[in-house]
Every structure is written in C-alpha cells, then in structure tokens.
Amino acid sequence: AVPLEGEYEPSPAQWVREQVELYESSGGTQGTTLWDTGLPVVIVTMRGAKSGRIRKVPLMRVEHEGRYAAVASKGGFPHHPVWYFNLKANPRVDLQDGPERQGMIAREVTGDERAQWWRRAVAAYPPYAEYQEKTSRVIPVFVLEPE
C-alpha cells in the first residue's frame, strides 16, 4: 500500500503533536500508550478535508480480528473532533499500531454494527462510556478495515 503523501500539518495541541513525534520517531516503540495508563494508542494518518494536508491523530487502540475502531469522542465535548470530517471526506488512511503500519479504509458504522464496536471500544477504554453520558452528541464510531 502506498502511504499517504503530502505536507504534514502537526496538531495545534502540543501534547498530541509530541505523542505523534515520539511514536513515529521511535518506530512505534515509545509513546504508544495514553500517558501512564498503559492503555495502547494507535496513530491514524489522514488527509485534511479542506487543506488536503496530512494530519496525524492518536486514538485509543480498539482492535478486533485485524480491524480497528476510530472513536470520535474528543472527551465528550459537544462537537465532533475536526478529524471526523476528514475521515468522511477521505476514508483512505494509514494506521500505525506499534511498529506496524498499514493502509485502511474508514467507514462510519451505525445501528447494531456500531453497538458491537462501541462495546469493544468501552472494553478497551472505559472512559468512552463516561464521555457518552456527558454529551447529547452521539459519539461517532468508524471501523478501519485493511484496504
């Protein structure tokens, strides 16, 4: 799979930018967990919906039989994270899980399929359940499937 090409635009959020830099510069051996929780994180490289630039978004690792969920929780804030619109516009992404990097296609899921992946997400990262309780926004879930 040809990795996404283009000009990388780092996140304006320093803690996010730094996690991406440590994760990538260490070949996926460092910066691979959320702070000291020990819970695993993946990096999703995507193309900006408006800028066309390369964006890199760390997300909690939710994996099942080679497919991953991307949960647009943003801590339960009232609005979707901006990257939600990137995946809707440009579903071809690169996912880095530790040292492994592969091309995936993102697809927003609803109904029973979303419920199944939501259970997996909460099992991997329990705070997702609290985030959903604190907002009337239905937190979107994408499934990333190998292209």
Ligand X SMILES: C[C@H](OP(=O)(O)OC[C@@H](O)[C@@H](O)[C@@H](O)Cn1c2nc(=O)[nH]c(=O)c-2cc2ccc(O)cc21)C(=O)N[C@@H](CCC(=O)N[C@@H](CCC(=O)O)C(=O)O)C(=O)O
**What residue ranges bind ligand X (CB under 6 A)?**
11-13, 15-16, 19, 34, 41, 48-51, 53, 55, 57-60, 71-74, 81-83, 85-86
Nearest to 120 by CA among 99, 142, 136: 142
- The residue written with tokens 């691979």 in the block is 32
Q: What's the min distance (Å) between Cβ of 136 and ligand X? A: 17
For CA atoms 7, 2, 67, 109, the dihedral sign is positive
Q: What's the min distance (Å) between Cβ of 75 and ligand X? A: 7
Length of the chain: 147
CB nearer to ligand X: pick between 85 and 108: 85
CB nearer to ligand X: pick between 72 and 144: 72
**Minimal CB distance residue for ligand X:** 48
CB nearer to ligand X: pick between 47 and 101: 47
Strand order in the sheet with 92-97: 54-60, 41-47, 92-97, 100-109, 141-146, 67-71, 63-64
Q: What's the min distance (Å) between Cβ of 141 and ligand X? A: 10
CB nearer to ligand X: pick between 11 and 116: 11
Count other C-beta atoms under 10 Å from residue 69's C-beta: 25
Q: What's the min distance (Å) between Cβ of 76 and ligand X? A: 10
